Amino acid sequence: MDGCPFSWTSRALDARPLPVSSEAVYLIDDDPLAIKRLENALVDQTGYSVAAFQSPESLWAAIRERKPDVVVADLHMPAVGGLDLLDEIGDALPEVVGILMVNFGDPKLRAALAQLGPLRVVNKPCDVRDLQLKISAGVERACLERELGDLRTELARAKRRLADIEREARTATKRLVEAEQLAAVGRVVSGIAHEIGTQLALVGYAEAIKSRVADDPELTEFADIIVAAQRRLSAMVDEIRDFAAGPGAERALHREPSELAGLVDEAMAILQYERGVRDRRLELDYKARPLVSVNRQKLQQVAINLVSNAVLATEPGATITVEVDADETEGVAMVSVVDTGAGMSSDVLERLGEPFFSTREGSGLGVGICKRILEEHHGRLEFHSSPGKGTRATAVLPLLEIDA
C-alpha cells in the first residue's frame, strides 16, 4: 500500500460508505463456515484483496509469498491462540496490522481489549462495516507510523549534518584566527628582521677572532660555537618568517643524506654552553644510527628546541635523555627528548603548536616551527605526557631510501 488513503476522523463522523481500497487482508479461523462467510462479505462490500486460512502453517506460507496489510485472527484456535499468533506476526512484521475476533461474552474479551485496544478487537460474528472501519484505522495508523519513522530518520540525518556544519564552522573560525595571528607575526617579523640581521652580522667577527687565535684550541672552539650560533639564529629568523608566511608558501629546502645521531651530536654541542643545559644532566642514548635525507640546520633547530623545552619543564639537576632510534618495519627514524618534569594535561597537548600558545615564557612559536620543519620533511612531531610524569617529545622522519 502506498501513502495514507484514508482520514480516520472524517470516517468516524461520516456514515457514508467507506472508499474502495486495495489492502491485502488475511483471515484465519479454524471454523470453515465462519471464515468463508466473512471472506465473501469482505470481498462483496470492500475493495480488499482477501484470503482465508484455517491453519497457522498455511497462513505463514501465504505471508512468505506476499506480505499482507492486515491479519484478522480468531481468539480460539486449536494449534495456537489468536493473541499469540498476532504477537508472532507483529514481532516478524511490525508494519502488519493485527486484529482479533472475540465472541461478545468470552471471558477473555476484557484481557484482549486491555492488550490490543478497542480498535484492534472486533466482536464475532463480525459486522463487516465495523471490521472495515478498524482495518482502515489500523492501516492508516501503520502508514502514519511509517511516515513518522521516515521523519525521524530525516531528522537524525539533519542533526548529523548540522553537527558536521558546526564542526566545519569551528574549524574555519580556528583557521581564520590562526591566519590573522600569523599575519600579525609576519608584520612584526618584517619590521625587525633587518635589524636582527644587522646585529647578527657583527657576530661574523668571530671568524676574524678565530684566525688570530688559531694556536689556542679552546678559543678556536669558542669561536666556532659563536659562528655556529650566528648561523643558527639567522636560520631561525628565516624560519619564523616562513612560519608567518603560512603552510602554502614556497620554500627551497636543501636536503642531504645525514646520519641522524651525528646531527644530534652537533645540536648538543651548540647547547653545551647554555646555562640551563649545564644545570641539567643531559644523557644521549643512541639505539641506532639511522640515515635520513634532511636539511641539517633545520633538523638541528628541531633538536635544540625540544631540548630547550625540556630544560624549561624541569628543575636544575634533572635528567634529560635524548634518544635516537629507528623502526625498519615502519621505515622511520626517531629522535626523542625525554624529561621527568611537570608534564602536560591532555588539554595542553591538544593545543601544542597553536601560534602564541605557551605554558611558559616565550612566543609560543617553537613547537609550531618544529612541526612545520618536520612536515616539510614528510615527518611528524609526537608528544606523550601526563601531569607530574614528564614528557616524551618525538620527531619522526622517513628513513633514507638507498637504491639496491
Q: Walk me through the domains of the chain, giving residue ranges and CATH numbers.
A: 13-148 (3.40.50.2300), 253-398 (3.30.565.10)
| Chain mean pLDDT for the chain | 81
pLDDT of residue 62: 92
**Whether the predicted pLDDT of 186 surpasses 80:** no
In this prediction, residues 149-160 reach a mean pLDDT of 90
Percent of the chain whose pLDDT exceeds 70? 78
User: Which amino acid, residue 244?
Assistant: A
Q: Please tell me the predicted confidence (pLDDT) of residue 370.
A: 86
Residue 263: predicted pLDDT: 93
More confident site: 141 or 336: 336
Q: Characterise 336 by phi-psi region: left (phi > 0), alpha (psi -120 to 50), beta (else).
A: beta
Q: What is the mean pLDDT of residues 126-131?
A: 87
pLDDT for the residue 357: 54
CB atoms within 10 A of CB 103: 14
Mean pLDDT score, 330-355: 83
b/e map of 69-85 (b: 16 or more CB within 10 Å)?
Answer: bbbbbbbebeeebbbeb
pLDDT of the residue at 188: 66
Q: What is the pTM of this model?
A: 0.46
Q: Does the structure show a pLDDT above 50 at 17? A: no
Residue 6 has pLDDT above 50, yes or no: no
> Is 185 a residue whose pLDDT tops 70?
no
- In tens, the pLDDT along 295-306 reads 998 899 899 989
Inter-residue contact 53 to 59 (CB < 8 Å):
yes
Tell me the per-residue pLDDT of 192-245, one tens digit each, with 9 for 90 and over. 666 666 666 666 677 777 777 778 888 877 777 777 677 667 666 666 666 555
189 against 387, higher pLDDT:
387
Burial of 366: CB neighbours in 10 Å, binned 0-12, 13-18, 19+: buried
Distances from the Cα of 289 to the Cαs of 262, 325, 327, in angstroms? Answer: 8, 7, 11
What's residue 227's pLDDT? 73
- As a whole number, mean pLDDT of residues 383-397 equals 90
Cβ contact 124:101 at 8 Å = yes
| Range with lowest mean pLDDT among 173-182, 215-224, 261-270 | 173-182
Residue 288 pLDDT exceeds 90? yes
Cell of 257: 643524506
Residue, of 196 and 5, whose pLDDT is higher: 196
